Amino acid sequence: MTHAEEMLRTYPADLGGTDREALARSIDQCFDCAQTCTACADACLSEDGVANLVKCVRTCLDCADICDATGRVLSRHTGYDANLTRATLQACVTAVYFCVLEAPQNTAKYAKASAGQATENP
């Protein structure tokens, strides 16, 4: 059981019909993707051909920031509002989508790790 699952299991108020397992997985993937994208942007900076990877760096930095915010929003249940969660997830899905589009231009394996992670994201 991940810490996200454990925190959901011990949440003191009612979570309604929430699929806790799916929610915990989404939360974990958001934080994991934030880490992977931060590391991917940094790895690009150390590539010989960094000049060809600047769009990948930028897309990864955006994706890290948005996944981070999304993981935090999903981790909160007090005063839940579906509209805010939906808008945040929509931004997250868009960021991950562009990250996956950008990654194939980076032939190094770390980009594939990042893309693989990203496509599993909510």
Where does this chain bind a second copy (CB under 8 A)?
3-4, 6-8, 10-13, 27-28, 31-32, 34-36, 38-43, 45-48, 50-51, 54-55, 57-59, 61-62, 64-66, 68-69, 71-73, 75-79, 81, 83-84, 87-88, 90-91, 93-95, 98, 102, 108-110, 113-114, 117
- Least separation in angstroms between residue 22's CB and a second copy is 16
Which residue, 17 or 48, has its beta carbon nearer to a second copy? 48
Residue 64: which residues within 8 A CB-CB, separation 6 or more? 33, 34, 35, 37, 38, 41
Q: Which of 116, 3, 108 lies closest to 49, judged by CA?
A: 108
Which residue, 17 or 50, has its beta carbon nearer to a second copy? 50
- Least separation in angstroms between residue 70's CB and a second copy is 8
Which residue, 18 or 35, has its beta carbon nearer to a second copy? 35
Q: Which of 122, 118, 110 lies closest to 45, judged by CA?
A: 110
Q: What are phi and psi of 48, to 5 degrees?
A: -60, -40
CA distance 108 to 105: 9
